[in-house]
Structures are given as structure tokens and as C-alpha cells.
């Protein structure tokens, strides 16, 4: 880009009318990557994401009046090409720009070469995904062979401004997904397909699976794939009942979908005494039972999470009319069909359920929860804990997470995130049926010290936290609730809210995910989804 870059960036900020957020990007939890590089990648994805979704009929009048008919026509004629070249483009970080870049000083690109050359030392310019996207659209104009710098800048600003002003006043920036291929006819034939529907985000796809089908959704091109699956060995009918879904823990891993089925406990009585699991093998499109060998003891209210390729179950309550809290668990490997026991040693957290459980790249983190069984309604802060530990499966040892100054108060269902070097504990509840907590703290395992997080901006920022979704973006902690998408910046200790992104049609059965680029909402009840482009 030429000198117009500075002007161009200020234009983007001017028309976007929103505070820039602190480098929201990246896809891997705890990747610890360089925030600017992650943000640039995010910007590229965001660029074609919005270009693809812009509705040419919704260009606001004030914008139209600022562009010549030639410019507007250029945009109409080339929008599809821009999407295409940006989808194929790869960021190529260099110490020096190649000679053909002439007087460009940050980045450049040319037709017939999918690379967007970016100067490494200029990476800090990519402060947020919108700024990065503006740069990428500019380069996209060059990628399709247009050398005019002014046009490249104006197309970039026009695209971002149109997107920002396209007008979804009730639910800004939510875009409906293409309908899933599972038809109403399929559902009519078997209503259980809806109730027994499992959802998880894995790598780059949303997986939705049930007894008879598995589907995957690709947000990049808004498309679905669906496969029927063979009969499975699990007695699904046994578990079919109003509350049973709450005792099913779904996880989609690279190899396929796992459903860990806990024992059930309804209205104060044990109704289903055994816990078991089933695995849907993606390759074979068939179910099989998970082995019981070395499996954790039967339990309910389990803590569950996943590593890159294994499911993890830890804690919960024993299957009994007088249950005990547990501090045991295991890793399940779906490829080998084996369990690896999580060891118990003097540093293992005390038995608990309702705790936060997180895989932090190479260790398992446990924090908070309820220490003794308590009937719902009788739960008070006295039973809640505010400690935890890390478990290293290589050394099979636990390392306590010390409480102390600035540690979050006792709570259940806290949201955990791993930054690559620190553990974030946020939100949760300190009693049932009470509003969710809005505080949190950050733990450094090296110094064994906590520091508090600044509180979110306003009392209405989030709504019910317990239905929210906390995540690490690569550079910030994001919190996605039915009311809002907000990001916490560790360096400045401050939150920024991405508007009141009221989730369209959020229901109890809805599920929220963060792909690393956009928010995903899936409503189990009507099999519909939506994407949020912040």
C-alpha cells in the first residue's frame, strides 16, 4: 500500500462507528501465537466473509451518495471475484517487500500470485480484525488485476461501511445459516432426531449428529454435508426421556462424535444406574460402544472437555440415591477405544461437581465447583470451593492451583480459558437461581499468583452467564452470551463490547460456539443456525 494507508485506516475507523477491539483473532485455544499475525489471518477471513454476505440491495443511501456510479458498478461487477481471490489468498510474511511492490510500504499483491506479501515489522498495524480486513480487501483489488490505489482504498472502505450499516437492527451482524439437509420429513418420521441431537464445534466445522445421521457445517462457504449412520449398539430407547439429554455429554473429535451418557437422577431418585458411552466413527459412519475397561466409575453431573484427540471426564457425582462427589476420571481415546485413568495423589483437587474443566494444551485444569452433594435449592456458598489444580498426563501428577489474594470467590460452573501461559477464571454462579457472577481473575502458574480482572462495562453487558461461552481468541478472552459478544484485553485490563448482539431466537436448547472468526448459534429445537460476524 502507498501513503493512503494511514488515511484509509482512519476512514475505516470513522465509518465503522465502533470502538476497535483488542486484536480479536485466532482459532486455537491457548495457541499463544503472536496476536498481530493471528489478527491478520482473521482479517483475511473476515474480508471475504463480509464481501460474500453483503446484500447489494442494502447499501445505505448516505454511502451510495458518496460513490460515483462507476465505482458502484465496479463493486457490483467484481464482488464475486474479490471473494474468490481472497479465499485463495495466503498471507506471506516477509522481511522486505519484493521489487514489484514499488512504493507500497506495508503489504502488496498482484494478479496471478495468490500471496499477499506483508512486511513482518508492520504487523503491529493489524490492531483489530476490521483494520486487517480493510487492508486485505485493498490487496484483493490488486489480486484481481486492478492497480488503482484510490479505487482499492475506496472499495475497502465501501465494503466495511456497507456491512456495518446493512441494518439488522434487532440483531446486528447475525446472518442465518443455510438450512440443514435434515428435512422436516426425516424429523416427522422420528421426532427423537431432534431431542437426541448433539452439537459441537471441532477444528473448522460445526458437527450436528444424532442416532441416524451426522452433519457438518462449513461456515466458510455456508454449506452442509450429511451422512446416514449405521444402527448403533446403544439402547437409545432406554435413555429417552424428558431429562435424559441433560445427562448426555457430546464431544466431536477428529475421529468422530462421542456421547458419554451419565446415569440419571430425576426428582431426587436414581432412574438410570449405569453410565456408558458411544462413539460415532466418522470414517465408517457407524456407532460402537465405548469400552468399559479402565472407564471411570459410573457417575452423573460430570465435568467433561476434550484434548486434540481425546475426550476427558473428571469429577461429578456417584450414581446413587445418596451420591458422593468424585475426584477421579479418565481420558478416552476413540481411535484405540481405550481409557487412561487420571491418577489421584495428595495434590488432586477434593471431590466435586459443577467445576470448570479445561484442556490447556498439555495439562488439564480443574477449578471451582461444589464439594458435597446438595439437593438443588439447598445449595449455598458453604458447599462451593475456590481452588483447583493442573493435571499433567505425562507425569501423571497434579499441581495445586493456590487460592489466596485476588483469587475468585467460591463458585460453580466457572468459565475457564488458557492464554498459553495463564489461566483465566471468569463468571459462574455462587448459588442456583441467582444471577450469574461477573467477576474473574487470572492465575499465573509460574508465580502462583492471581490478579483480578476489571469488571465488564455495564450491568446489562452479558445476561445469563451460565448459558454463555468463554474462549481464548489467541490474544483476548472472549465471552459470548445470548446478550452480547465481549472481549477482555489482558494488556489493558479492559472489556470491549461488540454491540448488544442479541441472539436471534435464543432458546434453552440453543448452543453457542466461537470458531476463531465468528460466533455460531445453533438452535436444536428448529434445527436452525446463525453466524455472528463481529
- We find the least distance from the C-beta atom of residue 5 to Zn ion, in angstroms, to be 8
Closest CA to 207 of 186, 183, 227, 231: 227
**In the complex with Zn ion, which residue's Cβ is closer, 1 or 389?**
1
Contact in structure between 247 and 262 (CB atoms under 8 Å): yes
**In the complex with Zn ion, which residue's Cβ is closer, 141 or 424?**
141
**In the complex with Zn ion, which residue's Cβ is closer, 1 or 97?**
1
- We find the least distance from the C-beta atom of residue 138 to Zn ion, in angstroms, to be 6
Residues that bind Zn ion (CB under 5 A): 1, 149, 152
Residue nearest to Zn ion (CB): 1
- We find the least distance from the C-beta atom of residue 121 to Zn ion, in angstroms, to be 18
Query: Long-range CB contacts (< 8 A, 24+ apart) of 439-446?
Result: 439/408, 439/409, 440/408, 440/414, 440/415, 441/406, 441/407, 441/408, 442/490, 443/401, 443/407, 445/390, 445/399, 445/401, 445/421, 446/421
**In the complex with Zn ion, which residue's Cβ is closer, 152 or 262?**
152
- We find the least distance from the C-beta atom of residue 384 to Zn ion, in angstroms, to be 57
**Residue 513 CB neighbour total at 10 angstroms:** 19
**In the complex with Zn ion, which residue's Cβ is closer, 103 or 225?**
103
- We find the least distance from the C-beta atom of residue 159 to Zn ion, in angstroms, to be 15
**In the complex with Zn ion, which residue's Cβ is closer, 87 or 142?**
142
Q: Which residues are CB-neighbours of 228 under 8 A, at least 6 positions away?
A: 212, 213, 285
- We find the least distance from the C-beta atom of residue 401 to Zn ion, in angstroms, to be 50
- We find the least distance from the C-beta atom of residue 105 to Zn ion, in angstroms, to be 10
DSSP 8-state secondary structure symbol assigned to residue 66: T
Distance CA 475, CA 494 (A): 13
Q: Which residues are CB-neighbours of 10 under 8 A, at least 6 positions away?
A: none
**In the complex with Zn ion, which residue's Cβ is closer, 56 or 145?**
145
Q: Which residues are CB-neighbours of 289 under 8 A, at least 6 positions away?
A: 233, 234, 276, 277, 278, 279
Please provide the size of the chain in residues: 534
Strand partners, 528: 523
Closest CA to 329 of 362, 366, 361, 360: 366
Amino acid at each position: 500500500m502507498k501513503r493512503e494507508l494511514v488515511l484509509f485506516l482512519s476512514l475505516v475507523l470513522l465509518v465503522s462507528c465502533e470502538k476497535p477491539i483488542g486484536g480479536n483473532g485466532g482459532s486455537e485455544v491457548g495457541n499463544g501465537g503472536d496476536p498481530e499475525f493471528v489478527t491478520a489471518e482473521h482479517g483475511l477471513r473476515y474480508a471475504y466473509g463480509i464481501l460474500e454476505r453483503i446484500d447489494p440491495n442494502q447499501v445505505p443511501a448516505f454511502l451510495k451518495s458518496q460513490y460515483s456510479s462507476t465505482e458502484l458498478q465496479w463493486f457490483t461487477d467484481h464482488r464475486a471475484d474479490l471473494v474468490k481471490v481472497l479465499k485463495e489468498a495466503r498471507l506471506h510474511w516477509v522481511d522486505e517487500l519484493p521489487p514489484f511492490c514499488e512504493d507500497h510500504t506495508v503489504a502488496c499483491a498482484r494478479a496471478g500470485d495468490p500471496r499477499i506479501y506483508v512486511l513482518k515489522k508492520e504487523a503491529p498495524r493489524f490492531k483489530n480484525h476490521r483494520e486487517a480486513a480493510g487492508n486485505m480487501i485493498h490487496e484483493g483489488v490488486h489480486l484481481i488485476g486492478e492497480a488503482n490505489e484510490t479505487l482499492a482504498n475506496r472499495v475497502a472502505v465501501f465494503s466495511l461501511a456497507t456491512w456495518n450499516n446493512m441494518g439488522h437492527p434487532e440483531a446486528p451482524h447475525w446472518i442465518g445459516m443455510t438450512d440443514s439437509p435434515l428435512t422436516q420429513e426425516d424429523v416427522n418420521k422420528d421426532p427423537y432426531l431432534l431431542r437426541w441431537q448433539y452439537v459441537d464445534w471441532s477444528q473448522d466445522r460445526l458437527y450436528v449428529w444424532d442416532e441416524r445421521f451426522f452433519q457438518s457445517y462449513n461456515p466458510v462457504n455456508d454449506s452442509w454435508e450429511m451422512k446416514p449412520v449405521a444402527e448403533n449398539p446403544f439402547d437409545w430407547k432406554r435413555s429417552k426421556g424428558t431429562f435424559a439429554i441433560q445427562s448426555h455429554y457430546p464431544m466431536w473429535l477428529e475421529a468422530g462424535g462421542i456421547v458419554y451418557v451419565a446415569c440419571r437422577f430425576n426428582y431426587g431418585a436414581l432412574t438410570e444406574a449405569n453410565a456408558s458411552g458411544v462413539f460415532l466413527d466418522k470414517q465408517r459412519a457407524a456407532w460402537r460402544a465405548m469400552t468399559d475397561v479402565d472407564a471411570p466409575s459410573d457417575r452423573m453431573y460430570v465435568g467433561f472437555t476434550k484434548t486434540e484427540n481425546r475426550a476427558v471426564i473428571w469429577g461429578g457425582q456417584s450414581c446413587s440415591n445418596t451420591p458422593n462427589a468424585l475426584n477421579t476420571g479418565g481420558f478416552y481415546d476413540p481411535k484405540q477405544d481405550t481409557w487412561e485413568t487420571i491418577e489421584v495423589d495428595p495434590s488432586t483437587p477434593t471431590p466435586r461437581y459443577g467445576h470448570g474443566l479445561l484442556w490447556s494444551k498439555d495439562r488439564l485444569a480443574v477449578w471451582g465447583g461444589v464439594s458435597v452433594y446438595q439437593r438443588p435449592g439447598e445449595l449455598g456458598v458453604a458447599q462451593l470451593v475456590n481452588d483447583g489444580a493442573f493435571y499433567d498426563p505425562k507425569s501423571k501428577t497434579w499441581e495445586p492451583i493456590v487460592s489466596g489474594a485476588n483469587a475468585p470467590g467460591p463458585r460453580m460452573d466457572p468459565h475457564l480459558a488458557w492464554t498459553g501461559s495463564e489461566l483465566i477464571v471468569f463468571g459462574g454462579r455462587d448459588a442456583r437461581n441467582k444471577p450469574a457472577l461477573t467477576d474473574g481473575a487470572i492465575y499465573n502458574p509460574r508465580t502462583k499468583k492471581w490478579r483480578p480482572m476489571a469488571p465488564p462495562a455495564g450491568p446489562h453487558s452479558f445476561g445469563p452467564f451460565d448459558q454463555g461461552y468463554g474462549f481464548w481468541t489467541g490474544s483476548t478472552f472472549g465471552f459470548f452470551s445470548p446478550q452480547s459478544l465481549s472481549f477482555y484485553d489482558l494488556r489493558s485490563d479492559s472489556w470491549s463490547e461488540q454491540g448488544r448482539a442479541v441472539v436471534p431466537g435464543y432458546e434453552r436448547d440453543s448452543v453457542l460456539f466461537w470458531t476463531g472468526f465468528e460466533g455460531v448459534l445453533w438452535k436444536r429445537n428448529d434445527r436452525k443456525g446463525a453466524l455472528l460476524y463481529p
